[in-house]
Structure 1
Amino acid sequence: MSREQRKNLDEMLRRPKPTKPQSVEEIRANFAAFMATMKVPEGIRTTPTTLGNRLGVTVDPEQDARPGIILYFHGGSYIMGSPYTAMSVTANLVNKTRIRSVSLDYRLAPEHPFPAALDDALAAYRELLDNGVEAASIAFAGDSAGGGIAVSACLMARDAGLPMPAAVVAFSPGVDKTRSGASMDSKMGIDPFFTREGFTLSDTMYLAGQNPNHELVSPARFADLTGFPPLLLQVGTNELLLDDSTQLADRARASGVDVILDVTADVPHVFQAFTGILDEADQALDRAAFFITQHLR
C-alpha cells in the first residue's frame, strides 16, 4: 500500500480553493482545468462521434483490439464534465482491456435537469443495439455521477424490455440523493472534495424540485435490482459517498445479483483518475479491466 502517495495526494487536494460563490460556467471551467492535469496514457486513439443524438468520443486501443464496447459516462455531479474530463479513467480502461470505449457527452443540469442525462444514456444504448451490437458485448461504466447513470440507465433498459448489458462498473457512484448514508456524516472533513452544502447546490440544480426518493435518482435506497447484470463497485474510505456504494451492494445481494464491493482505504473520490500518482489507482483499474473482460462475450 502506497501510504506516502496517499498522504501526498490528500495534502494536494486540500490546498486552498476559491471561497466566493462561483457561476456554473466557472465551476465547469475549473473542473475541466483540474481534470486536464490527470495523466492520459499513450497508445490510444480518440475520435469524435455521435450516439443517441448526442456527441461523444470513441476511444480505441492502438492495436490488437478485442471485440466489445465499454459505454462510458463521465462524472461531474450532473452539472459539469465531458468525455475529456474522464479521459484518464476511460483511456486506461481501454488500454488495460484493449476494448473500445464510447464516452457519452450527455446533457447537463441546470439547463437539462433529471432525467435528461439518463434519457441520453438509454438512447445511446438503444442505438448500439439497433446497430446490431450484442448486449452481451457491451459493458456500462462510469465515475461519480456517471456511475449513477450507469446503474440507472441499466434499470431503465431493463424496464423498457431491452436486453441487459454484460456488466456494470461504477467508480465512486452517486446513487443516493437522499444523502442519508452514515458516511455523509462520519466522513465529513475526511473527504477532501465534498461537503453537504456542495451536494445541496448540485442536487438542487439536477433535481429542479423533483423528489430524491425516486429509484432512478437514489437507486441505493429505492431500486429493485432484480435481473441486473454483474456489478462492480469501487470506492474509497475517504468519501462522503462511501455508503452510496455499500448500500447499493446490499440491495444487489438482496436481489440475487452478482456484485463485488471493492473498497480501498484512505483514498478519495474517483481515486482511479490519479494513475501514475497513486499505485492504488492503477491497481483498481487493473481489477476493473479484469472484471470487464471476464464478462464481455
Structure 2
Amino acid sequence: MNPLPPLRSLQVFEVVGHSRSLAEAARRLGISSGAISQQLKLLETTLDANLTVKDGRQVRLTAAGQRFHGACTTAFELLREAQAELERARNDANLSISALPSVLTAWLAPLVFDWQDRYHPTLNIQFKASHAEPDSDVEDIDFRITYDTTRPNRQNTIELFTDCVVPVCSPALLRPNAALNQPADILRYPLLATDWRPKFASPPAWADWFAACGVDARKALAAHPIRRTFSLSHMTIESALAGQGFALVQASMVYADVMAGRLLIPFKRALPLPRPYVLKWHPDTFHKPQCRAFHRWLVVRGKHQAELNAQLLA
C-alpha cells in the first residue's frame, strides 16, 4: 500500500476545496498563498493525480479532485468529532443524550431544558438526534431514548412509557361548512400521515384509527386518499400546526400544543403504540452524579407523561 500524503497537504487541500480562492484559503489557514500552492503541488505529486486547475485567480477542483475532496472532508469531520468527544469526556460537567429525532425535538428537549435551568444550570448537554443506535465503543453517549422494538437485552434499560396516537388539527383548519360531528367527518379535510419505515414499523395509521371508530376505512380512504406523508413525526406535527391537514400523532408530542390551544383533538379516540419508549445507558454512566440525577428525573417524567396523556384523553 502506498504511504498516505502528508497530513498538512491534506488539510490545505480540504480548506481550498471550501474556499473561493487561494487568498481566501490562505487567510483561513493563516499562511501565504505561495505556501498553499506548494502544499497542493506536494499532494498532487504524492498521489500522482491532477486535483486542481487554475482559473484566473481562482483554483477549481478537477473531477478527480472533487471525489478526493469529498473523502477528505468526511475524514476531517470524523477527526473533529473525535476531538470534540475527547474534550467532552475530559469535562465532568457534561451530559450526552441520543434520541430518536422526533422524540428529541417534540418531547424530550423542551423538558430537559427546563430541568437544566432549574437544577443544573452549569451542566453542558449535548443532544444527538439519530435513528441509528449509537456505538458505545466509538461514541461518548451517556443515555439513549428510543423505541423498544425487539427487547433483546433488558440490561441497562428501563421503560419510560407507552405513547398513543391521537387525531389533531389546527383550529384555523376548520371550516364552518364542514363541521366535525363524527369521526368520518375528518375525511372532509386533508390527512397527514407518518411512515417510519424502513427503520421501524410505522405507528397506527389512519386506516387503523377509522376502523377503531367503526368507519369503513378501506372505502373511506379509497375515496379520500392520503397525499401528504412524512418520515418524521415532528414534521407531521409542524404541518398540522401550519393548518395543512389532520395529523394522527403521538399524544406526548402534542400535549403542550393542545393545552396552549394551538392544536385540538376533535375525537378522543387514541390508539397505543405497539411498543414503549425506553431509556438505555452506558455501563459507566452512573459514575457521574449528573447522570444519576438525569436518570432519576427522566424515569419519573416518563411515568408522569403517561398520566398526562390519560388526562388529555379523559
Q: What TM-score do the two structures reach when normalised by structure 2?
A: 0.24
Structure with the higher helix share, 1 or 2: 2
